[in-house]
Amino acid sequence: MTDSRMVDGVVLLNVAEDDERLPILRAAPQPGALVGLPADCTGVDVFDLDFEEAGRLMVDHLHRLGHRELVLVSQPEHVVERGGAYVWRLQNAALEAARARGVTLHAAFGSSHQPDVGRDLNALLDAHPGATGLVVNNEAAAAALPTVLHERGLSAPEDLSVVGRYSDEFARTFSLPFSSVESAPDRLGRMAVRQLVRRIEGEVGPDEPHVVRFVSPELVDRGSTGAPPRVPGP
């Protein structure tokens, strides 16, 4: 694409930590912008959700409500293996926030498709019966969760508080009733294209520093989190 001179600039999506496309883009005469954070941001403008802050936000939200044992369901391991560092960024920040607040956080990977992810969710809830909150950084798990909760006779937030990380469009598509951190793909795309056009049109000089900008996470409250259920007395 860049050799053909048919394009004036390139936006890369789903950027891996060591993305094999980046050396080619850096060597091209056209400017480039990324949606996703690579290990090396040299020579390109980068835009991404602040996944570290998202992890802290989700844990802090449940901690303030009184939860002291949580389960985090992340994307599958193969996403990490192919360079999806955002999974670790959110998970590590969530674990660090949990330790600082005296919260027990059980972190696990979930499948990316049915019916496996449903079995994963059931296994995690069986393994951690004391957990009162569920943090979901896995779209397939979020989509499967209403069915899993219904089959177990549970509801959110009465029995289990749930907070996820996905886009508002994803929530509408699957009619998800769970509070979530907005992953902001539309906003990130607009930011990347806007900056790319500025470089193409010369509003940003070729020698001006490239930018790395993070979108601050915002929690969309859909009523799926509350105080943990009371444990009946003896």
Q: Could you give the CA distance from residue 167 to residue 97 in angstroms, rounded to a whole number? A: 23
Say what the pLDDT of residue 80 is.
85
pLDDT band at 231 (very low <50, low <70, confident <90, very high): low
* 195 touches 98 (CB < 8 A): no
Q: What is the mean pLDDT of residues 61-65?
A: 98
What backbone torsions phi and psi does residue 106 show, to the nearest 5 degrees? -95, 115
Structural domains of the chain ordered from first start:
10-49+184-215 (no CATH), 51-182 (3.40.50.2300)
| Residues 6+ positions from 175 with CB-CB distance below 8 Å | none
Task: Reply yes or no on whether the pLDDT at 233 is more than 50.
Answer: no
**pLDDT at 25 (0 to 100):** 96
Task: Answer yes or no: is pLDDT of 164 > 60.
Answer: yes
Helices (H), the chain: 22-27, 51-64, 77-81, 85-100, 116-127, 139-151, 168-173, 185-200
What residues contact 140, with CB distance under 8 A and at least 6 apart?
Answer: 110, 111, 112, 113, 114, 117
| Counts of helices then strands in the chain (DSSP H, E) | 8, 10
Q: Average pLDDT in the 111-133 region?
A: 96
Pick from 103-112, 133-142, 181-190, 224-233: least confident: 224-233
Integer Cα distance of 208 and 216 in angstroms: 24
The pLDDT tens digits of the residues spanning 23-45 come to 999 999 999 999 999 999 999 99
Mean pLDDT, all residues of the chain: 95
CA angle 186, 42, 39 (to 5 degrees): 75
Q: Which of 22, 42, 46 shows the shortest CA–CA distance to 214?
A: 46
Angle between helix axes 116-127 and 139-151 (nearest 10 degrees) is 60
Does the pLDDT of residue 234 top 70, yes or no?
no
| Distance in angstroms (rounded) separating the CA atoms of residues 162 and 130 | 15
pLDDT over 70 percentage in the chain = 98
pTM over 0.75: yes
Q: Quick one: which H or E segment has residue 97? A: helix 85-100
Return the percentage of the chain with pLDDT > 90, whole number.
90
